[in-house]
Structures are given as structure tokens and as C-alpha cells.
Structure 1
């Protein structure tokens, strides 16, 4: 069901789902009351969707005395990025004639001993990404983090994924954790036509995470329609769902030019549970980044929220990447190959592709013994980034491309034992 408006309601003693839904004349979409009686914290709240049974003024009156946030449920979120190449033919050919990369059923097998990830410094599973992975020092990072993200769940809140793709067999969380908020069911399957809209976006994003952290598990959550748009209610619900279902990292390769209170509350609630949230900066080549990434530099969520832009293989700002003071880090986001719907492989370009590189890097760290608190990880990732401001490089964007380009080896060297 599509709601006209959503309201975030701070909980009080005695509140129930039924009492609040009746007061607002709507439906409770997310209920977060864990531990509230003990601490009465600001992150103890619920999200309600409603149609014009009550006006915004009526909602405020019905819930007088609370800091209620009411907003229109707009389609303001977009995945962004674009597909740049599609590989046809057999998967074995994609792998340069070597044994099929999907053999055995999952990307995780790349790290399982039957297919070497690295051979002489070359990335074997998808050799088209070799330059990108050298750029972020992935080989060394995977040596430093031998568990390769095992035991870590990364929620991909996106356009869904191709659930039948061989790359994801054995690499997904249990089906009870899946949700299609856009379609209103529990099957977050990509929908659309190859080359149009966002079809394949979420599959690419999930595939990038698994190339970085092959033993992590992906929790697929669909909030974007085939055209790449998503509404406030679905994104806010998905973030809360991901936390409640056990995600330790949330990847948001999506954004909005508007700062949604409901989504901001959801991110703040997630990060208060020490869930790490990664958000892409947007692809309009403007001097401001999209939300929720724009909140990464300040506010309650800042410690566990990371904003990510894009650079090219020479560490120059990608022509499409947004930039600004709120941007914390950049990664290589151009022509990144990963699985595509219908059992294929494709490359995409966008800040959406750089974000999952950082999400995968956080999963690598969480799969090992940490020597820093979880709340230090996103900050450490930014602080250990490689310098991209030397000489004339990026001179026009000084201080607006974060602290530099993702360096996974340096990051892990600072954060794991």
C-alpha cells in the first residue's frame, strides 16, 4: 500500500502499536521499542504511514506534547549510476577462458581454495576489475583479513538483486530476512529491462561487496522501482528492518536532494545500535551531496555513517561525482564489473559503485578481531584514505573530496589485530 504521508513518533510509556495507529489513523510501519522503558532514549520511536484521514495538523494535535515529525511520502530517492557494459556469452569466457567463476554456486568459493582470487597480483575472478582493486589495495587487504568478512551481514537496500544468479547462491542471508518494500512482498527480485532505469543496479552493488568481502552474507532489501525511484516510507522501513534482522553494515547506494526526517531518524536509530551505514554522494556533478550521505559529517549518526564519492583510475574526481565539505571519502566508481541479472555480468559507473567498496571493507574489518571500537571504523576508513590532492590533481576540489581515496590495506592495518 502506498501512503500519502509518514510520521515519526517518539514512544512514551504505555504506547502500543494499536493505540498509536488509531490516534493517527494509519498503519505502523516500523516499531522500535527495544530497551525503551529502561533508557527512554530519543531513538525509541515508531514510523506510521497514513493517508488523509487526518491532516498533518490533526496528527500533531492527536499527539500533542511529542516531538512528532510529519512529512509527505515523496518519491525522492534515486539509485543513480548507469550501466556501461554488458558481457554476453558463457561465464567461463568472462573469466578469460579459465574455469567458470560461478562454479560451485557462489562468489564465496573464490576464497574457498578451489579458485585463487589472486595470481601474481592479478585479480582472477573478474580480471576487468584488476586495476580498480589494485587502486584500493584489495589484495593486501584480503591477506590481512583472512576471514574475508565471514559472519558479517551486509544489507543492500536498493533495486533488489537477481536472486537466481549463480554468484549469490550460498551468499545470501536466510529468506526470512528478505523484503521487497517496493513490491509489497518478501521476494526482492530485480524487475525491469536490461539497460533501462535501475535494472541491475542492486545486483551490481551486491556483487561489488562480495568481491571485497567474499565470505560476507548479503541481505537483499528492495526499495527502488525499475525506474530507480523510491519513496521515503520504504527507505525508512528498510533501514529499520535491516537492523532488526541482524545487519551489521547497511549499504545505501541511493540518495535524495531532500533531507527526510523519517529516513534520518531511521539512520540515527541504526547507528545508535552500532550498525555501520554507508551512503553514496550522488551523480549530478554539483557541490553538494545527497541525503543521507550529507548527514555523515554532523549529527547523532555521524560516527557510524560514511559518505562516499567517486574517482577515476587516476584518482581524479569522476566527472559525475558530487562533492562538498560533507563528503568523507572517495572510491573508484567507474566501469566496475559485477554480476548482472539473468546470470550475466555488467559494469556500472556511479558513486553507487564506490559505496559498496567501503561497505565491503567494513565487513572485512568486522570479520576479524578489532583493536578499535566499532564506532571508530568509519572514521578510521576516512582517515587512512590515500592522498588525492598532491600537485595539481583535484586542485579545483580541495577539501571537497573527503580525506582521500579508499585504501583498504591501510584501513585494516589500523583497525584489526
Structure 2
């Protein structure tokens, strides 16, 4: 994209994970640094007094990506760690595998005389969903102005019961009671930053003008620069995914601010270290909600450590369930109901406009709720408009709903907010088509913004 080429790339090799402690970044002074480094594996190495990045790299044969020895030897020494990127020759069918990681970790532990955790890193995460419709022929032109303009001033979001910015979404938003939600939460998410960790967005799209955080808070962890611009061709791979997701958040909470963070490439996949870095970055730069419309088949300790740091600071995390029609949801959604995490996290699957489980949506007894994720119209790169389907489209509806609540005075503790959303969902189990999925489409079922807000905010 030309936008990326007009700005100089930063020379930082990779930003350190930003924990509560001061973390020293490892930098690359090369003038030819292009893109973030890619490693097959990432290792978490506990640090000890006297360790240095150079010595650890020489001993273990990896590249130090982040370094935090602030509290070594104290009661908080569990956060005294280094993250290292590693390329190991032995793979399974050409891909990094947990089995290889475990064997290599055993060897490293003998070398370093300490516990070392290794997990596959490269292309472990992917964004879900697919483009299902373009508007007005081959591609529709966005004609709704910016979300921020529609949220105030002379134009209104709702006109005679029609959702004015995108009339084609009217039935969809009526289903989740969005018009009523906007009445109950007139701040419309003002003052709330939602970090969208995804493929980036179309930064120049008219829908986002006035609705993004300051440029200093943007980051592209995939390309290793400060311009999280989508790259690719619409309809191929993941291109347009993040733009759609961000546009959905703003349709629900038009006065919220989007923090665009890119961790996924053109094909929609990205690395563990990038996702973890983005979570920490979002927290350090003021996000109150993190939307992760992406997932992995396997849990990640590195990412979960970052999520745990986020929720430890009261940040809400929303994640999508995956699109393989499996009785198993993807990570990090699968961890959203765990003790210690569940109060600040929520997992979201997809249903149709008839509240029937979407044919693509994963399901499980650990899934917390669903939302209508089929043919959701939103901005598309190039100043265009397109519809996508996927649990990736359902998740930002929940993220936007949480932003509406945070823009108002809460009537419940922050730690109860996600459970109020889950517990006040519309019951979808009375629908015969959903009987095979009993108790696997959430505690009750489909997002209902009106009943959620009535249970969670002070209504004036």
C-alpha cells in the first residue's frame, strides 16, 4: 500500500512486552530493517541475577525479543523473564510443533539450569470470517460519512427506526436492540478506547475519520512500523478483516475510539509474539477493551501471560470462537470463562438473524454467548463497503456493547460487567434447530444490548 511507503520504517527490531515493570527493548540498528523478525518458536526464560541478553542468547542459541529483570530475586520474580525467538530445524510436516518444542526445551533447561518454556510461534494465530457480499455491484462505495459525524451534530444514527449510516444492517441491529441501547447509553461510548488486534485497518477510510486514537498509539507488529494499514486484495486472505471488525465496533459505539494494532498478515495469520506484544501495547496506551477476532487451535502461555496482565489492570478482553463448526472453541476464547480470567473476558460465537447457530460457528460448553455474525456490512479498504460473515464479526458487537456501558456510569462493579452481558442474553435454546447445541451457545444465548445495559448502568 502506498500509505506504508510514504513513511519511514522504525528501526526497532521488536517492542518489548510492556508489563507493569520497566522492560528493556532489544533494538536493531540496521538501516535495512524490513518487517518484524519471524521465528518458528518463542521461549519464555526465567531470568536470574547476573544474566545479560548477550550471555543468554549465546547460551541458548536464540534471539532475545524482550528482557525484564526489574524484580529478579524479589517476591515478584515470576515476572522476571526474557522472551526469545528460536528457529529449530526439526519440525513436523514442515511446521513448528509442540512436540519439537518440548524436546528442545528439555535440552535448553540442561544448558541454562532453569525451567524453559517453548511454544510454536510462527503463523499460530489466524483471523476468522470471510467476505460474503459487496454492496452495489462489484464493490460498494462508502456513503455514510464518518461514524463520529453520524453519532452527533445534525445527523442522527437512527431515522424512523432505520439505521441511517448503513440501512442494510437495520434488521441486524434491531435484533440485538441497538436503537434502544443507544437511547439508554447516550454517550455512545465516548471516552472509551477499544484496541482492535487484527489485520490492521484502512486508516484513510472516511468511516474512521475522527474515530481513531492518536497516531502515536498505533502499531503494526507484523511489519514492524507505526502504520497498521491493511495490505492485500479485497476478497483474498484476510484483507479487509480488521477494517470490518473496527467498523462493527463503531456502529455499536459510535463515539468510542479505535486503537488499530496489526498482528496478522495478508493471509490472515500471525505470530504468537506479535499478539502478545499487541495486548501489552494496548494496555500501556490506554485501551479499556481489547477485541481479538482471531484464534489458535492451541493455548499460548506467552499470549495468556499478556492477557492476564491486561485483566489484572481491569481491561476487558473479547475474543471470537472460531469458524470450523467444531465442538471446541479456539484460544483465547476457550480461556474466557476460567477463574480469574472470566470476570474480564468474554467469548463470542455466531448465530443467524433467526437466532440459529451459524453453520460455520464453533460451539462448546465453555462458549459464553453468541451474536448475529452473518453478512455484517461495514467499511472495506479503499473507502468501500462490504459484508463479512464469521464469529469475528460477532465478537466486536460484544466489544461495542461493553464500550457503551463503560461510557456511562456503571451500576455494577467492573468485574461483573461481562457476566451481566452473558447473563442477560436472549435465550436461543427454545429454537428447535439449536437443540443439538444445548448449553453450547452460551449460558443463555444471543447478545441483547438493551437488557444488558439496563442491568449494568445507571439509567437516567
TM-score by length of 2: 0.82
Pair 1:101 & 2:157 matched? no
- Distance, in Å, in 2 between the alignment partners of 1:222 and 1:394 is 35
Moved more, 27-36 or 171-180: 27-36
Deviations 1:381-403, CA, capped at 9 Å, x for gaps: 10010110115241111000002
Query: Shift of residue 181 of structure 1?
Result: 1.3
- Distance, in Å, in 2 between the alignment partners of 1:247 and 1:137 is 26
**Aligned equivalent of 2:106:** 57
Aligned residues of 1:303 and 1:376 also touching (Cα < 8 A): yes
Query: Shift of residue 88 of structure 1?
Result: 4.7
Aligned residues of 2:193 and 2:289 also touching (Cα < 8 A): yes
Aligned residues of 1:78 and 1:230 also touching (Cα < 8 A): yes
Moved more, 282-291 or 24-33: 24-33
Structure 1 residues 127 and 39, CA gap change in structure 2 (3 angstroms): farther
- Distance, in Å, in 1 between the alignment partners of 2:157 and 2:409 is 23
Number of aligned pairs? 408
Which of 239, 242, 249 lines up with 2:282 in the alignment? 242
Structure 1 residues 24 and 331, CA gap change in structure 2 (3 angstroms): same
Moved more, 227-236 or 20-29: 20-29
Structure 1 residues 307 and 142, CA gap change in structure 2 (3 angstroms): same
**Aligned equivalent of 1:4:** 40
Structure 1 residues 174 and 39, CA gap change in structure 2 (3 angstroms): farther
**Aligned equivalent of 1:411:** 452
SS of alignment partner, residue 328 of structure 2: coil
Moved more, 220-229 or 265-274: 265-274
**Aligned equivalent of 2:151:** 111
Aligned residues of 1:297 and 1:328 also touching (Cα < 8 A): yes
Query: Shift of residue 247 of structure 1?
Result: 1.1
**Aligned equivalent of 1:279:** 319
SS of alignment partner, residue 394 of structure 1: helix
Query: Shift of residue 18 of structure 1?
Result: 6.9
Which of 327, 332, 336 lines up with 1:292 in the alignment? 332
- Distance, in Å, in 2 between the alignment partners of 1:90 and 1:256 is 32
- Determine which structure has more spread, i.e. the larger CA radius of gyration: 2
**Aligned equivalent of 1:379:** 419
Deviations 1:329-348, CA, capped at 9 Å, x for gaps: 00000000000000000000
**Aligned equivalent of 2:9:** none
Q: Output the aligned Cα RMSD.
A: 2.7
Aligned residues of 1:11 and 1:33 also touching (Cα < 8 A): yes
Task: Please list, as runs of the form range in 1=range in 2, the aligned pairs for 1:298-337 lying within 5 A after superposition.
Answer: 298-337=338-377
Query: Shift of residue 169 of structure 1?
Result: 1.3
Structure 1 residues 255 and 391, CA gap change in structure 2 (3 angstroms): closer
- Distance, in Å, in 2 between the alignment partners of 1:245 and 1:8 is 24
Pair 1:360 & 2:360 matched? no
**Aligned equivalent of 2:76:** 40
SS of alignment partner, residue 212 of structure 2: coil
Structure 1 residues 217 and 30, CA gap change in structure 2 (3 angstroms): farther
- Distance, in Å, in 2 between the alignment partners of 1:114 and 1:264 is 44
**Aligned equivalent of 1:78:** 126
Structure 1 residues 146 and 2, CA gap change in structure 2 (3 angstroms): same
Query: Shift of residue 324 of structure 1?
Result: 0.6
Query: Shift of residue 51 of structure 1?
Result: 4.0
Which of 168, 179, 197 lines up with 1:157 in the alignment? 197
Aligned residues of 2:46 and 2:114 also touching (Cα < 8 A): no
- Distance, in Å, in 1 between the alignment partners of 2:51 and 2:448 is 47
SS of alignment partner, residue 323 of structure 2: coil
Deviations 1:2-46, CA, capped at 9 Å, x for gaps: 123212345667877777666655455456789999862756655
TM-score by length of 1: 0.90
Query: Shift of residue 110 of structure 1?
Result: 1.0
Aligned residues of 2:38 and 2:122 also touching (Cα < 8 A): no
